[in-house]
Structure 1
């Protein structure tokens, strides 16, 4: 692991791959995790991470919002952004009713704005 500052967590391998390639193209190469357990291990091992893009619909035992709560508790310097195929219509647990959920796949323009806003503009990305 080099200087990655971004983690993408999605159990859909195709969407994880698409988002990963888009982030690389925008100059922000991510670490990736197919589940919450892997995500937490990567966060522990990668103190430079600053942003986690988390799918709301993870495995049954761990929903994306539960992972978000754990990240906030253990890694307060890491911002969490939620994504779902349902977008703003995604189900939310009590207390998360107003949490923004981006519709996936996230457009390239929206993804660039999100990454630049949380991580700063990428150097030499050409994007």
Structure 2
């Protein structure tokens, strides 16, 4: 559990929802469900500073802005929810190309196993 200071709220990072992933890049051979996955999903040891009006920032960025999470309300525990935003993340294409390589390697290994 993170220690909160006045004006801070706990955060949970989640996979993209439909609003965030619709139309996002997905290479051939990769199931579209992989587009939803962000590199920091599940992270909950961070906080966000509330604005003077009590609002939270609309976006949270990591890696110099290469990975973007978008505000999406609060969960039942009162944590601020941010969802991975692949369309806003400049690093998304590279991430997905890496996922495509893993899927292709797995397919090659499966083909080798069947040919034995």
**Fold conserved (TM > 0.5)?**
no
The structure with the largest alpha-carbon Rg is: 2
TM (norm. structure 2) is 0.30
